[in-house]
C-alpha cells in the first residue's frame, strides 16, 4: 500500500476520530448533566447521586478485563460500531419508558449500567486501535485532538444543559443523545482500524486460547512493565480518594450552596475550557520527557484544588463571588487533568505491544477504578452525615501524602533512569524539566 496514501488516510482518521468523539460526547454530556440534576432535585440525597455513579463505574471495573481480551481477539471496528449501536438502542428504550410510564430511579440506574458496558467496549477498542489508525509520529497529536473533541463537547454541553434544564422535557435530552449516537456510528463505519497495524500470523490448526487464559497472559505481560505497575498503584489510591470530589462537587454546589442550574453548567464548562486549551497546547508541542514526574506534580496540584473547593463552605461569600471562584477553580482543574493524562497516554501507546494493548489498557482501567465504587459508597454516606468541608480537606491531605509516598524520588528514578544521568533534579528546581513543560 502506498505510504503517501496511508498518511493521507491517517489524516482523515485523525479528524474523523475527533469529530466522532465530539458528537457522541456532546450527546452523552447533555444526558449526564440532565440526569444528575434530575436525581439530586428529585431525591436531595448524595447517596442516590453516588449510586448512579457506582452504576457507571462498577460494571466497567468488573468487565473491563474481558472487554480487553475480546478486543485483542476480534475486529476492533466491529466492536466499536456494535457498542455504539447498543448505546443508541438503550437510549431509545429509556425514551419509550419515559414517555409511557415516566422516568424512575430504577430505569435511570439500569440505563447507566448498560451505557457503562457499551462505553467500556467502545473505549477500550478505540484506545487500543490508535496505533492502527494513526502513524506513530502523530500519536501525541491524536491523543490531544481526542481530548480537544471531548473538551469542545464538554464546554458547550453543560452550559446548554443548564439553559435547557427546566425549560424542555427529559425526552428532548434523550433525543439529542440518540441523534448524536447515530451520527457517531456513521462516521466510525468509514474508518480503517488496521491501516498501520501488523497482521497477526496464525499457525495452521492453532487454537485460540480461552478468554481467561488471554487475560492471564495480559497480566503476565503487565508484570514485566514496572513503570505501568507503579502507575496502577498511584491510580488506584488517587481515584479512591478523589471520590470526595466526584460525589461532593455536584452535591455541594447544587444541594448545599443552591447554585442555579445555569451557573453550575458554566462551572462545568470552565473545567472543559481548561482541558481544551491544554489539549491544544499538547497537540502542537513536542513530547514530554518525564511523564511520571509531570504526573506527580499534577496530582499534587489536584489535591490542593480539591481542598480549595471547601472554602465557600467555611467562609460566607457573595453568590457572584462563589460562582467566579468555582469557575477559576474548575478551569485550573481541567488544565491539570490534561497535563497528567496526555503524556502518560502517549507513553503507553508507544511502549505496549499491539498484541496486548486491549488487555493491558483494560487491566489498567480495572485496577485504577477498583476502589472507586467503595469510595462512592463511603463518600455518599459521609456527605449525608458530616460537613462537606471537612471531608474534602481530609481527603485532599490524604491524596497529597499518598502521592508523595508512592511517587517518591527513588521510584521516579526507576521509571526514568535518565533523571540521574542528566543535570535534573526531582524536586522541581531543575531547568530541563521546566523547559519540557
Q: Where are the domains of the chain?
A: 3-196+212-422
- Contacts with 118 (C-beta within 8 Å, 6 or more apart), sequence order: 83, 84, 86, 87, 90
Mean pLDDT score, 46-52 = 75
pLDDT digits (tens, 9 = 90+) for 334-367: 899 888 888 888 778 777 887 788 888 888 777 7
C-alpha pair distances (Å), 247 with each of 38, 254, 431: 15, 12, 39
Rounded distance between C-alpha atoms, residue 349 and residue 139, angstroms: 8
pLDDT at 356: 81
Rounded distance between C-alpha atoms, residue 221 and residue 124, angstroms: 17
* Higher per-residue pLDDT: 183 or 205: 183
> For residue 323, is pLDDT > 50?
yes
Mean pLDDT score, 13-32 = 77
Mean pLDDT score, 73-95 = 89
pLDDT at 200: 57
pLDDT at 437: 29
pLDDT at 32: 75
Rounded distance between C-alpha atoms, residue 392 and residue 311, angstroms: 10
Mean pLDDT score, 21-37 = 75
pLDDT digits (tens, 9 = 90+) for 144-197: 777 777 666 666 666 677 666 667 777 887 887 788 888 888 888 888 887 776
> For residue 410, is pLDDT > 90?
no
pLDDT at 400: 93
Rounded distance between C-alpha atoms, residue 62 and residue 362, angstroms: 10
* Stated length of the chain: 437
- Quote the DSSP letter at residue 165: B
> For residue 397, is pLDDT > 90?
yes
pLDDT at 196: 73
Mean pLDDT score, 202-229 = 74
C-alpha pair distances (Å), 226 with each of 70, 145, 233, 349: 25, 29, 11, 16
Mean pLDDT score, 203-212 = 62
| 3-196+212-422, CATH topology level | Growth Hormone; Chain: A; (1.20.1250)
Q: What is the mean pLDDT of the chain?
A: 79
Long-range contacts of 248-252 (CB under 8 A, 24+ apart): 248/46, 248/309, 248/379, 248/383, 248/388, 248/391, 248/392, 249/309, 250/36, 250/40, 250/49, 251/40, 251/46, 251/49, 251/383, 251/388, 252/309, 252/313, 252/388
Residue 364's nearest CA partner among 241, 251, 222 is 222
Query: How distant is the alpha carbon of residue 116 from its chain centre?
Result: 12
> For residue 331, is pLDDT > 90?
yes
pLDDT at 425: 43
**Ranges of H-type helices in 165-290:** 170-188, 211-223, 226-241, 243-250, 261-284
Residue 306's nearest CA partner among 386, 365, 388 is 388
pLDDT at 142: 78
Rounded distance between C-alpha atoms, residue 91 and residue 97, angstroms: 10
pLDDT at 85: 92
Query: What percent of the chain stands above pLDDT 70?
Result: 88
Residue entry with cell 462512592: 376
- Contacts with 320 (C-beta within 8 Å, 6 or more apart), sequence order: none
> For residue 136, is pLDDT > 70?
yes
Mean pLDDT score, 15-26 = 78
pLDDT at 171: 83
> For residue 385, is pLDDT > 80?
yes
Long-range contacts of 378-385 (CB under 8 A, 24+ apart): 378/243, 379/46, 379/50, 379/243, 379/244, 379/246, 379/247, 379/248, 380/46, 380/47, 380/49, 380/50, 380/51, 380/247, 381/47, 383/46, 383/247, 383/248, 383/251, 384/45, 384/46, 384/47
Backbone angles phi, psi at 55, to 5 degrees: -60, -25
Confidence of residue 435 (pLDDT cuts 50, 70, 90): very low
Read off the C-alpha cell for 25.
Answer: 460526547
> For residue 204, is pLDDT > 80?
no
Least confident of 13-22, 37-46, 173-182, 247-256: 37-46
Amino acid at each position: 500500500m502506498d505510504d503517501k496514501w496511508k498518511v493521507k488516510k491517517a489524516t482523515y482518521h485523525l479528524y474523523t476520530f475527533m469529530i466522532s468523539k465530539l458528537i457522541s460526547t456532546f450527546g452523552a454530556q447533555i444526558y449526564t448533566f440532565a440526569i444528575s440534576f434530575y436525581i439530586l432535585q428529585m431525591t436531595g440525597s448524595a447517596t442516590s447521586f453516588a449510586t448512579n455513579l457506582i452504576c457507571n463505574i462498577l460494571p466497567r471495573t468488573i468487565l473491563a478485563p474481558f472487554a480487553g481480551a475480546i478486543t485483542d481477539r476480534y475486529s476492533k471496528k466491529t466492536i466499536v460500531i456494535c457498542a455504539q449501536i447498543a448505546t443508541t438502542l438503550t437510549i431509545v428504550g429509556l425514551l419509550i419508558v419515559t414517555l409511557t410510564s415516566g422516568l424512575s430511579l430504577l430505569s435511570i440506574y439500569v440505563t447507566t449500567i448498560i451505557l457503562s458496558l457499551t462505553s467500556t467496549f467502545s473505549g477500550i477498542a478505540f484506545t487500543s486501535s490508535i496505533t492502527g489508525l494513526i502513524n506513530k509520529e502523530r500519536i501525541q497529536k491524536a491523543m490531544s485532538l481526542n481530548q480537544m473533541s471531548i473538551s469542545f463537547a464538554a464546554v458547550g454541553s453543560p452550559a446548554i444543559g443548564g439553559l435547557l434544564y427546566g425549560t424542555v422535557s427529559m425526552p428532548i435530552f434523550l433525543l439529542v443523545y440518540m441523534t448524536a449516537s447515530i451520527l457517531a456510528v456513521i462516521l466510525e463505519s468509514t474508518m480503517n482500524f488496521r491501516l498501520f497495524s501488523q497482521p497477526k500470523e496464525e499457525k495452521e490448526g492453532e487454537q485460540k486460547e480461552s478468554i481467561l487464559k488471554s487475560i492471564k497472559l495480559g497480566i503476565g505481560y503487565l508484570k514485566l512493565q514496572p513503570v505501568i505497575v507503579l502507575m496502577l498503584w498511584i491510580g488506584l489510591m488517587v481515584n479512591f480518594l478523589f471520590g470526595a470530589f466526584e460525589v461532593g462537587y455536584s452535591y455541594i454546589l447544587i444541594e448545599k450552596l443552591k447554585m442555579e442550574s445555569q451557573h453550575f453548567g458554566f462551572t462545568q464548562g470552565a473545567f472543559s475550557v481548561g482541558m481544551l486549551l491544554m489539549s491544544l497546547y499538547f497537540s502542537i508541542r513536542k513530547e514530554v520527557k518525564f511523564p511520571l514526574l509531570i504526573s506527580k506534580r499534577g496530582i499534587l496540584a489536584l489535591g490542593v484544588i480539591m481542598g480549595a473547593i471547601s472554602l465557600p463552605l467555611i467562609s460566607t461569600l457573595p453568590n457572584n463571588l462563589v460562582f467566579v471562584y468555582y469557575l477559576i477553580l474548575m478551569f485550573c482543574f481541567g488544565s491539570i487533568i490534561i497535563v497528567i493524562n496526555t503524556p502518560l497516554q502517549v507513553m503507553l501507546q508507544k511502549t505496549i505491544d499491539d498484541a496486548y494493548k486491549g488487555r493491558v489498557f483494560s487491566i489498567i482501567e480495572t485496577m485504577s477504578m477498583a476502589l472507586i465504587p467503595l469510595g462512592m459508597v463511603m463518600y455518599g454516606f459521609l456527605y449525608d452525615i458530616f460537613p462537606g468541608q471537612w471531608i474534602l480537606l481530609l481527603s485532599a491531605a490524604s491524596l497529597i501524602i499518598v502521592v508523595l509516598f508512592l511517587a517518591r524520588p527513588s521510584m521516579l528514578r526507576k521509571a526514568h533512569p535518565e533523571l540521574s544521568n542528566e543535570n535534573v533534579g526531582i524536586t522541581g528546581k531543575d531547568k530541563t524539566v521546566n523547559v519540557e513543560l
